[in-house]
Structure 1
Amino acid sequence: SVVGAEAATVFGPFGVEGEYSHVMVDRRKRSKDLGFDGFHVQATWSLTGESKAASYKIKDGEFKRLKPHQYFSLSQGGIGAWELAARYGWINLNDQDIKGGKAQDFTVALNWYLNPNIRMMFDYTHVFKNTNHGINKSASTFGNAEGLNIFQVRGQLTF
């Protein structure tokens, strides 16, 4: 079973959202049930002034694609939409004899929406802690992965 809560709000080009989840695992008769927790909070700022408020769909309970005021175009000088985002996440996957680990991370991202269907994402993530995961350090590439830094670039095409 999963119990969770989420909230989001948008003020013009600024957005804040957060989500918490608690997962309960029924282990039947063998052992006690398990519980795992995690949450994240994030803030966004559209540097070019777009608002996600217009993309919110009540029936789906989510924000849809951000639509740039002007699409990226070399010939017409459009720059698309640029968004700055920051996110903090925490998860605990340890309970009783299960050692899935605990982790905390912070991400800063720059998102470029060329048009409503193409997005480029540039993310930097710093993992503060990733401990107590039950993996033998000699068998793990990152050991406890404290101070791990990740830079990633992703492209997304939607239709």
Structure 2
Amino acid sequence: MTHPREAAQGLTPFADATGRDADCFDVAVLVEHELTGTAARRIVDMYQMKSEPPRYHVVRPLGEGADRNTEVRAEAEQLVQKSLERLESLRARTSGTVSEQGAIDALSSIIDATHSQEVVVVTRRHRLDALLHRDWASQVRAHFELPIVHLVDR
């Protein structure tokens, strides 16, 4: 049976009776921009030695109150698709979605739907956000009790 949140986000159900897929190590990947080839390689390299093959769940939040016109959504969907293609070119198993939610809520939905065991937050360098401790990585660390990797892409 497909979980309603999974269906709404275009995710397929992976979980067994215990709540997670016994055949893989699920990683939620929160992105604010398209993954570069270097970022995709770094993500895949981090998890290549896991005993279970990793599966990456890419999410791009549009944000609460964001302009959600069709052009903005289309750009976000293209960003996710390109990111998935980069990961898949490295033989990674993937899923992806664009969320209408803010970053924390979108990530929480993905973690719940996929039973992700770790989180990778991929951002560009933001000097002002880092100084104010309001960047995504800091927010994610404050809200989740999972291992968090912050990958700063250029």
* Same fold, judged at TM 0.5 (above): no
Q: Relative to total residues, which structure has the larger strand share, 1 or 2?
A: 1
State the TM-score, normalized to the length of structure 1.
Answer: 0.25
Higher relative contact order (CA 8 A, sep 6+): 2
**Higher Rg:** 1
Q: Relative to total residues, which structure has the larger helix share, 1 or 2?
A: 2
